[in-house]
Amino acid sequence: MAYKRGAIVDHLLQQMLTAPGDSDKMRIRQLYSCRLIVFFSENEAVAKYCVKERERARPVAEALLDAQAYLLHMIPGQLRETKPVQDSELLVKREKGKGRYEFLDLALENIKGFANFFRASKHFRQALQQSETFFPDLESLVSRNITKRASAHLQEKAAKHVSRLLHIFSQFEDCQHWTIDSGRLRIHAAAARLLRLDGVTEGFVKGWKKLGGPSSAGSVPLATSWQLRKHLESSEKKLLYFDRRIRNAGDPHTARKLRQEWLDMNEGALATMGWPALERCGGLPSVAQGPEQDGLRFAKAVARAGSSAAPVVCSWEMCTEGSVLDAGRQFSKCANCSLAFYCSKEHQKLHWTSHKKQCKAETSD
């Protein structure tokens, strides 16, 4: 399974690298290719396969970082508009009523991908460490300017995905200091703020009680929404205070000492009620499950016209026909595996050399 899904990820990355990215339609296709890559990364074996080597990890990191940069460029204007901006009209035609939040939803999905690949490979972690945009873009995504305009569902989703990412950061000792220097405490503070939002706190407490959890976890009160909200407010202030102290340290030795002091506090009180609890609470949306249990069936669903993901496009990399929406007609699909679509028989023949391995692997099951 890891090999077959990894092969699909490799194919998607190859398409993204070779296709021109200067058109809105191609950008949409690339964004949904990232969404599919993120879905496959939910399987730990697949995630490890995709980023097990430096040469494989870097293109995955670059694809996700590039997608986030474009989405963050588009999200503020899209959220302010009562009608979707021109660049997202294609999405709105396919999913009426979701256009205003579609780019934000995609960006939050990408956080899952960063978390899954961060956990899977040191090479991916090193690629993010070398990036100048990962933490600034993450901080922008969870800023008040964006989250205050998000729907309640996306506010909950942001709280959960960001909390999980922070939890994964804490699992790798070699990443502790550089993630703190890059802005991790400010992201942590933003997570505390997101968990204080109306509906999010209540959902967490309700889910926690449903699990039969205790009235507190460490120093974190979980009996009532009011108690938890007050604690989160205090946590946010402490995290921002510590972040300022580290950034304003007069020398590297003092900064390192302050970072270690924070780490010795077990990442503050927020960490004690972080990802493990959030994942189990039914009051918040699950990130452990994808749109389909079977990734290959989801890949097929993504390829169908009219679905909530990308519209059907020709699988041959050099095709300039666009999607079925542009062509105004349906495309044929591979009779063997149903995963590849073609605008013409000629393009199907041209694509067979690269497609036959995936096709034969699928039909051999």
Cα–Cα distances in angstroms (integers) from residue 126 to residues 1, 61, 69, 137, 363, in the given order: 26, 10, 19, 17, 37
pLDDT at 293 over 80: no
Q: What pLDDT is stored for residue 9 in this prediction? A: 84
Let me know if residue 163 belongs to a domain: no
pLDDT category, 359, cuts 50, 70, 90? confident
Query: 190 and 211 in one domain?
Result: yes
Tell me what the mean pLDDT of segment 63-68 comes to. Answer: 95
Q: What pLDDT is stored for residue 13 in this prediction? A: 85
Let me know if residue 90 belongs to a domain: yes
Half-sphere exposure of 64 (CA within 13 A, CB side): 32
Query: 145 and 195 in one domain?
Result: no
Let me know if residue 215 belongs to a domain: yes
Half-sphere exposure of 116 (CA within 13 A, CB side): 26
Average pLDDT of the chain, as a whole number: 76
Q: What pLDDT is stored for residue 297 in this prediction? A: 44
Let me know if residue 158 belongs to a domain: no
Query: 96 and 65 in one domain?
Result: yes
Q: Tens of pLDDT along 148-197?
A: 989 888 998 999 899 899 989 988 888 999 999 999 999 999 988 998 88
Q: What pLDDT is stored for residue 325 in this prediction? A: 53
Query: 358 and 280 in one domain?
Result: no
Residue 81: count of CB within 10 angstroms of its CB: 13
Q: What is the pTM of this model?
A: 0.70
Query: 239 and 266 in one domain?
Result: yes
Number of domain units in the chain: 3
Query: 85 and 116 in one domain?
Result: yes
Query: 332 and 216 in one domain?
Result: no
Q: What pLDDT is stored for residue 5 in this prediction? A: 78
Return d(Cα 232, Cα 205) in angstroms, integer.
13
Q: What pLDDT is stored for residue 288 in this prediction? A: 32
Query: 284 and 184 in one domain?
Result: yes
pLDDT at 104 over 80: yes
Query: 139 and 11 in one domain?
Result: yes
Let me know if residue 161 belongs to a domain: no
Q: What pLDDT is stored for residue 286 in this prediction? A: 36
Q: What pLDDT is stored for residue 328 in this prediction? A: 62
Q: Tens of pLDDT along 299-353?
A: 444 444 333 334 567 787 677 666 665 566 778 888 887 778 888 888 888 888 8
Residue with more model confidence, 125 or 202: 125
Return d(Cα 186, Cα 137) in angstroms, integer.
12
Domain of residue 59, residue span: 1-150+297-307
Query: 353 and 303 in one domain?
Result: no
Q: Tens of pLDDT along 4-43?
A: 777 888 888 888 777 665 667 788 888 989 999 999 899 8
Question: Which 3 state secondary structure label does DSSP give 256?
Answer: helix
Query: 327 and 272 in one domain?
Result: no
Query: 316 and 303 in one domain?
Result: no
Tell me what the mean pLDDT of segment 102-126 comes to. Answer: 95
